[in-house]
Chain A
Amino acid sequence: MTLHARLVVTRPAFTLDITLEVAPGEVVALLGPNGAGKTTALRALAGLLALSEGEIVLDGRPLHTLPAEHRPIGMVFQDYLLFPHLSALDNVAFGPRCQGASRAEARRTAAELLERVGLAAHAAARPRQLSGGQAQRVALARALAVRPRLLLLDEPLAALDAHTRLEIRSRLRRHLADFDGATVLVTHDPLDAMVLADRLIVIEHGAIVQQGAPGEVARRPRTDYVARLVGLNLYRGLGDGARIKVGELAFSTVEQVEGPAFVAFSPAAVALYRTRPDGSPRNLWRARIDGIERHGDNVRVHLEGPITAVADITPAAVAELDLAPGREVWASLKAAETHAYPA
């Protein structure tokens, strides 16, 4: 393990307490809602925030006793914080200069890095002359210029518009793949996390609620927050080997679980009927429509009843069934479309 950290930060009405392990070359994303403590964790790793308790060990050396300027880290801030009075080149050269490189040497390093992020032509530009995507790349180059062993990225794509984001995301992925140190990035965007990270750590209320490979987390969410992020309906119930009881409903599932279990299914797997369907699918319940909203090309229907669920159906189906808030409907779900795993 190149990075091992236990981060405890105590504040009035909030405590962050998480343990992190990051391998060399691994990218770990801290994912969580606003106020969960992701940025606090990142700032603690950077040394911008004192730990109340815990330790940070990088390559066997304790880091938590060092001030920020002595930690072998590179950090990309959410709005980049490029120094407005310096050119892109001098922004990137700032770190090497602080590490004792001569001006010429630092500029040479900086020029190489700008070249690598494809901005050699903009070396002389001031930050305010750069586009959002360019500024992000300069910020990345600046962080990499100090040859960090630990790279920290705070919402690296949040300040970009949707179009730029797509391009920068894939570029960033390539750069992170080239980086041989440990990387911790913070985001609240599941897509960024899935694309950029090798492993996700989900934080809620200052504690880790789930971690694992992105695909694993997406398929088997363990909290409502994660389920919402990855767009699944999620319930906690009790399995008896054949079915899983959630409240008064008993779900038939393909996987068999005994004891506490999660049931997850996609909103698209839910079918709605005005009258009780014939042939009685295995999972059927009566629900009341709480709200209807547009969701991409489909329509998302919020259902109340024995369970709270969302269903995605086509606009044509909405018209055909004459669905409206307050209506009673039947909701059904094939066993093959559900996913059950131990809680």
Chain B
Amino acid sequence: MSRRLSRWATALAAVLALAGVTACGSGRPAASASPSAPASGAKEVTVFAAASLTGTFTELGKAFEAANPGTTVRFNFGSSATLAQQIVQGAPADVFAAASPATMKTVTDAGLASAPATFVRNRLQIAVPAGNPAGVDELKDLADPKVKVALCAPQVPCGAAAVKALEAAGLKVTPVTLEQDVKATLTKVELGEVDAALVYTTDVIASGGEVRGIAFPEAGQAVNDYPIAALAKAPAGDLAGRFVDLVLSQRGKDVLIKAGFEAP
């Protein structure tokens, strides 16, 4: 009888463990996946950052680990809106770097962060596939119905910026698709499925020459501010603030500007 009981207990434990994983480990004894494990010397900082920061922040994370021996920086890159939702729903993040003030506002409105600082800005460019098959030179070429254009959906920051830029230019552009994020938009250009798209300068640079970027003056009307903030309930405590400091430092600026961002 007792053997049967113990078998049940094992099975139940397994099920609970599974349930625990989906519930982000709340109320569970500290296990390896928990970001807050300050008992030993090892410390972790969990940074939620916009997908467009993937390259630069990974580099800065290494620099942070080098400067603070014994610490590990873990990243969760994704759509800013999704990240903001995750933080509001209680995800254990220390730092949030968003691609738009609006998504940061979701988090500050919830009282989870205060006084975000703008650390970089990003400007739109026209991206065209190698060879520029449709001969796009300036923004008004995008209004030509023969030119297939991809834009980000207006719900995501790059889409909102595109709407602003096109409005500023007084252009009516009918895209063939409204992509869910800037990477997906860029992919359509890279594969030559569209003749042009509006994406960030940083994305053009990150594509490594697969697409060509064309700067246009109206982009100045739609510059995107990137705010960053240490979260109020950061499990990593003051390490969170130190990571933000690194991003705002000259060292941070150098890395970001090299990738195509602009200083605020």
A–B proximity contact (CB within 8 A): no
Q: Taking beta carbons and an 8 Å cutoff, which residues of A are in contact with B?
A: none
Q: Taking beta carbons and an 8 Å cutoff, which residues of B are in contact with A?
A: none
